[in-house]
Amino acid sequence: MKSAVNLFSGLLILLMSSIIVACSNGDDYVTPPEIRIRLPYDGRACGYGDTIHLQAELSHYKAIQYARVSLISANNVLVLPALNFNVNEYNYLLTASIPLNDPQMDDGTYYVQVRAGDGESESAESVKVQYSALERDLVSVLSVSKLASSEYVVSELPLAGQLSELFRLQGDYSGAAVSSANRQLYTAGRINGNLQAWNLAEKRADWTVQAIVNPPLEYFYHLCSDENEVFVSDRDGYIRGYTAEGLVSFKSQAFPNGKFTRFVRLSNWLIAVFEPFNGVLSELVVFNYPGGTVFRQFQFQGKAVHLDPDDDEGVMIFVNSDAASAVFRFSVTENTMVKLRIFPFPDISMVTGPSEGNCFIASGNELWWYRPATGSTVRYLTFDEIHAVQYDALSGRVFVAAGNNIETYRIPDQVSIATVAVQGETADLLLLYNR
């Protein structure tokens, strides 16, 4: 009797084991191909301009149909186009080269992934690589100059080279922005000039958004770029964002009876200054990005000339008012505005920065050097007239469009290190970087 019980227990254990194995593999389980990555080794360090050489051994009990090699980010996003291979072998030594020639790749951890499949099953293996990005450097200065009442010329001044014309645009002019990542320059008109994305490499327009002409009312007011998208405000009270391909990626809540004169991207917000057509106070509006709904609103006195991100939770606002010109800091999280400095000059015409602790402010024919950390404000340079100014923190250079020239200074020196004559009157200067 005891032996019969033991026999029954043994059969029950065997049956349960069979059920567990069947459940773990599944009734239709198919063994996938095996992958062994020999190169690169896990944790390899590499940088811009390098080439990753891959070797992987693939094996299977039946013919492997395909293999795919990908470089993916830490959050499993494809970074470069995948390499596809037709295999049709049982054992295969896969070799591939991945050139790291994208200047927009950021520092960080990436994974070289190999996938192989036989049509019914697929397996994947990956190794980690540590990537050092291309160091960001200034490539050239772009100038937009007015030739006639309805014609503008865009020129490029390399740091080591001569000024050359890129292209010309027709219509009137509201402003410009540049994306070094997209290699695009964006221009917009006021009344009859379109919003256009210019391909800097091929010197042609990639896409255009038509202005709705209704003289004498302006249609486009302001535009800016966060490198990935360009944002523009229009007569209908909207701010719209466009991708490098010209697709609408953002649309703010409408604010009629006024115009958005300045805006900037910060974290998950788009922060904008709204000026009502019939009103005393300006309004700082914080939109959720990319939803376009209002997150914060704050009224203040004066007209904003410039916005610049101060940290992840605030912006610096340069303001002209009847009393004086000043700079404030607005905190998004606290919804407060604090005055940082009243300037010793009555009016701000343009601002570049702050960047790496330096800011340059044009007031009339004077260029002032302002350092937010200490509040120091000193007169730096004086010109007959100032049309545009840009500061590059990486090289410590200040570019000033004065008269018919572009002057270059290296802080703290007050002697020009380069003078270049330009056509017409400069309307804008923009900085183009390698990434």
Specify whether 121 is located in the same domain as 169: no
Which CATH number do you get for residue 87?
A: 2.60.40.10
Quick check: is 45 in a domain?
Answer: yes
Point out the domain boundary residue: 346, 364, 391: 346
Which CATH number do you get for residue 306?
A: 2.130.10.10
Specify whether 81 is located in the same domain as 198: no
**Averaged pLDDT of the chain:** 91
Point out the domain boundary residue: 346, 375, 394: 346
Quick check: is 51 in a domain?
Answer: yes
Tell whether the model's pLDDT for residue 4 goes beyond 50: no
Question: What pLDDT digit, counting tens, does each position of 339-396 carry?
Answer: 999 999 999 999 999 988 999 999 999 999 999 999 999 999 999 999 999 999 999 9
Specify whether 116 is located in the same domain as 235: no
Residue 20 pLDDT:
42
Specify whether 123 is located in the same domain as 165: no
Specify whether 190 is located in the same domain as 303: yes
Residue 417 pLDDT:
94
Quick check: is 400 in a domain?
Answer: no
Tell whether the model's pLDDT for residue 15 goes beyond 80: no
Quick check: is 208 in a domain?
Answer: yes
Per-residue pLDDT, averaged over 183-211, amounts to 94
Q: Which domain holds residue 53?
A: 34-132
Among 81, 104, 82, 85, smallest CA distance to 93 is for: 85
Q: How confident is the model at residue 28 (pLDDT cuts 50, 70, 90)?
A: low
Tell whether the model's pLDDT for residue 72 goes beyond 80: yes
Residue 208 near residue 194, CB atoms below 8 Å: yes
HSE value, Cβ hemisphere, 13 Å, CA-based, for 132:
7
Residue 23 pLDDT:
44
Residue 103 pLDDT:
86
Residue 2 pLDDT:
42
Tell whether the model's pLDDT for residue 247 goes beyond 70: yes
Residue 156 pLDDT:
96
Count up the domains in the chain and report the number. 2
Quick check: is 356 in a domain?
Answer: no
Length of the chain: 435
Specify whether 123 is located in the same domain as 246: no
Lowest mean pLDDT among 22-26, 220-224, 292-296: 22-26
Could you give the percent of the chain with pLDDT greater than 70? 93
Specify whether 198 is located in the same domain as 67: no
Quick check: is 200 in a domain?
Answer: yes
Residue 19 pLDDT:
42
Question: What pLDDT digit, counting tens, does each position of 267-278 carry?
Answer: 999 999 999 998
Sign of the dihedral defined by the CA atoms of residues 415, 421, 422, 425, in that order:
positive
Point out the domain boundary residue: 330, 346, 362: 346
Quick check: is 189 in a domain?
Answer: yes
Specify whether 84 is located in the same domain as 208: no
Quick check: is 434 in a domain?
Answer: no
Specify whether 154 is located in the same domain as 124: no
Specify whether 107 is located in the same domain as 177: no
Specify whether 242 is located in the same domain as 114: no
Specify whether 251 is located in the same domain as 315: yes
